[in-house]
Amino acid sequence: MMFVFSTVYTLAVLFLSTKAEPKSKSCIEVRAAYSSKGFNVNDVPNKGVHGAHLKVCPQGYSCCTLEMEEKLSQQSHSDLKAPVSQLSYNLQSTFKQRHSHFDQFFRELLDNAERSLNDMFVRTYGLIGAVNLDSMLSEFWEDLLERMFRLVNVQYEFSDAYMECVSRHTEQLKPFGDVPRKLRLQLTRAFVAARAFTRGLALIPDVVSKVSTVSASPSCVRAAMKMMYCPYCSGQVALKPCQNYCINVMRGCLANQADLDTEWNNFLDAMLSLAERLEGPFNFESVMDPIDVKISEAIMNMQENSMQVSQKVFQGCGQPKPGKGTRSGRSVKETGFTGRFRPYSPDARPTTAAGTSLDRLTTDVKKKLKNAKKFWSTLPETVCAGERIAGGDDCWNGTAKSRYESVVMGSGLANQVSNPDVEVDITKPDGVIRSQIAALKEVTGWLKAAHSGNEIFVDPGEDDEDGSGREESGSGCDSPSCDQDIYFSTPPTHVNPRLVVFPKDTAGGARVTRGSAALALCGLTLALLAPHWR
């Protein structure tokens, strides 16, 4: 009886061992697949060996040695990183290109505006010296007031001291009506929105670049090795992982990255909202184009109210001295303005090197922003798709060719506490990821402020610990009126502004002072924009 039992036991062991041992043909396939990875084919045994020495893959008879397992583990690290890096690179390249287009577009539009405005001033007032757009606008209204005041009072002589008195009363006099305030408001909103949006575009590739530097943990590499290459050890080189198995491994490996998703999506929503503003009331081109019309309106206000303005000045600053001689003044008709300020050529809209319009740029980037939503939380599903995985029961579940039965984990670090395939320490969030979450949150605040017409300014020299910055007020708008053009509807193309052309002689002198608070703010906006566009 004992002999029979012993014989049956021996036969059973031999049967099971034979069944578990990879066939010689399978190890040959492993040799070919292993060498295709760049490894030495001689590392692979000709036939199955006992795998008790293996640290990751199932033990038993195997086509893998410990040396092979270590090399394949290194390979799995690269193979795990490759699809994530490619997807990140594609996203990074997309927004680097869009940022370059926007940055180039706005910079050239500014340059064109500066040249065009300067040309208009030269034609209108004579050569007033080499000035750039920000200083030109900041000093424009005070210089314009002086020239207009002298022109409408040619029978008097005014000293510099007298004109300083006039400047001091500019706010009370409001010689140009409400034009300076409205123009400043429009310019501020448009420039702040444009710069904030461009900065937002620059942030996207920066965040992606930094997040892509986060290394996989040892437990993640171990899980990737088990998923990708343990089938080699059992001689099943063509066997691919089950989809849910792959998703669980990738959600464990990318748990920290998935935690970006909330602030990432908030940031993209803020970008999309600001893009709507750029297409509407904060449209940079729409604000820049009719500036000459608005300046003409201001000058007409001064012309129509010149007598009242002059009387108030005489009452406040004293009666001026009569001129020694009568200056010849030219009428409006005689000096009709022949040119218009345009930030781009009338023959093509626009003429920037970006080769497009703001509307087309914005429409394109909105599509890209929408496609980028939930990028981080859906990375596992994106990676675990197509030829990388197998469906049904014909897939590798981590131990054998069979259906994967474990529950699929949720996204994010906190949901990996019970991940069956990757050991994740949920108490130690990645520092790089956390810093990028903070950066996204901060810039989202800037974008929301810009959406309301305000700008949050952070002095680089200050330690802004809470990331809140300091909000510059005075141009904000939280009401539905932000969605409307607060100044003009689109001006008719036949408008011929009744702009006074001042004599090119410099009789009486021209002061360069900073008396107009309204346009000084406008100039400040441009000064902030042009040198620090990025």
List pLDDT tens digits, range 16-41: 443 444 444 568 889 999 999 899 99
Is the model's pLDDT at 454 over the cut of 50? yes
pLDDT tier for residue 51 given thresholds of 50, 70 and 90: low
- The reply to whether the predicted model has a pTM over 0.75 is no
Beta carbons of 204 and 373 less than 8 angstroms apart: no
Please report, rounded to a whole number, the percentage of residues in the chain having pLDDT higher than 70. Answer: 68
Which is higher by pLDDT, 354 or 439? 439
The dihedrals phi and psi of 471, each to the nearest 5 degrees, come to -90, 125
- Which range of 107-111, 248-252, 523-527 scores highest in mean pLDDT? It is 248-252
| Residue whose C-alpha is closest to residue 318's, from 152, 162, 150 | 162
Beta carbons of 78 and 303 less than 8 angstroms apart: no
Which is higher by pLDDT, 216 or 493? 216
End-to-end CA distance of the chain: 90
Burial class (CB in 10 A: 0-12, 13-18, 19+), 246: buried
pLDDT tier for residue 5 given thresholds of 50, 70 and 90: very low
Sign of CA dihedral 122, 125, 131, 133: negative
Using CA atoms, how far apart are residues 291 and 490, in angstroms rounded to an integer?
Answer: 12
Poorest-pLDDT segment among 209-218, 278-287, 357-366, 473-482: 473-482
Beta carbons of 180 and 519 less than 8 angstroms apart: yes
Beta bridge mates, 456: 471
Burial class (CB in 10 A: 0-12, 13-18, 19+), 503: middle
Phi-psi region of 418 (alpha: psi -120 to 50; beta: other; left: phi over 0): alpha
Report the pLDDT averaged over residues 347-359. Answer: 54
Using CA atoms, how far apart are residues 73 and 174, in angstroms rounded to an integer?
Answer: 77
The 3-state DSSP class for residue 423 equals coil
* 491 upstream amide cis, omega within 30 of 0: no
pLDDT reported for residue 432: 94
Beta carbons of 99 and 207 less than 8 angstroms apart: no
Which is higher by pLDDT, 145 or 227? 227
DSSP-derived pairing of the beta strands 470-472 and 156-157: unpaired
pLDDT tier for residue 266 given thresholds of 50, 70 and 90: very high
Q: What is the DSSP-derived secondary structure letter of residue 401?
A: B
Report the pLDDT averaged over residues 148-167. Answer: 89
Is the model's pLDDT at 217 over the cut of 60? yes
Could you give the angle at which helices 431-451 and 261-279 cross, rounded to 10 degrees? Answer: 20
Beta carbons of 105 and 352 less than 8 angstroms apart: yes
Is the model's pLDDT at 383 over the cut of 50? yes
The 3-state DSSP class for residue 95 equals helix
Report the pLDDT averaged over residues 158-169. Answer: 87
Using CA atoms, how far apart are residues 424 and 253, in angstroms rounded to an integer?
Answer: 8
pLDDT tier for residue 104 given thresholds of 50, 70 and 90: confident
Burial class (CB in 10 A: 0-12, 13-18, 19+), 42: exposed
Read off the amino acid at residue 502.
F
Using CA atoms, how far apart are residues 50 and 54, in angstroms rounded to an integer?
Answer: 9
Is the model's pLDDT at 233 over the cut of 60? yes
Residue 160 sits at the vertex; the CA angle it makes with 158 and 165, to the nearest 5 degrees, is 85
DSSP-derived pairing of the beta strands 455-457 and 470-472: antiparallel
User: What rounded mean pLDDT belongs to the chain?
Assistant: 74
Distance of CA 63 to the CA centre of its chain: 50
pLDDT reported for residue 91: 94
Distance of CA 303 to the CA centre of its chain: 45
pLDDT tier for residue 504 given thresholds of 50, 70 and 90: very low
Is the model's pLDDT at 57 over the cut of 70? yes
Please report, rounded to a whole number, the percentage of residues in the chain having pLDDT higher than 90. Answer: 32
Encoded tokens for 446: 């800037």
Beta carbons of 454 and 282 less than 8 angstroms apart: no
Beta carbons of 293 and 182 less than 8 angstroms apart: no
Encoded tokens for 212: 């892509």
Is the model's pLDDT at 515 over the cut of 70? no
Encoded tokens for 273: 């909202």
pLDDT tier for residue 254 given thresholds of 50, 70 and 90: very high
Q: Which residues of 97-122 are buried (b: 16+ CB within 10 A; e: fewer)?
A: ebbebbbebbbbbbebbbebbbebbe
Is the model's pLDDT at 45 over the cut of 70? yes
- Side-chain half-sphere of 516: how many Cα atoms within 13 Å? 29
The dihedrals phi and psi of 416, each to the nearest 5 degrees, come to -95, 10
Using CA atoms, how far apart are residues 241 and 406, in angstroms rounded to an integer?
Answer: 13
Which single residue is written with the structure tokens 């702040």?
A: 192
Read off the amino acid at residue 318.
G
Which is higher by pLDDT, 132 or 198? 198
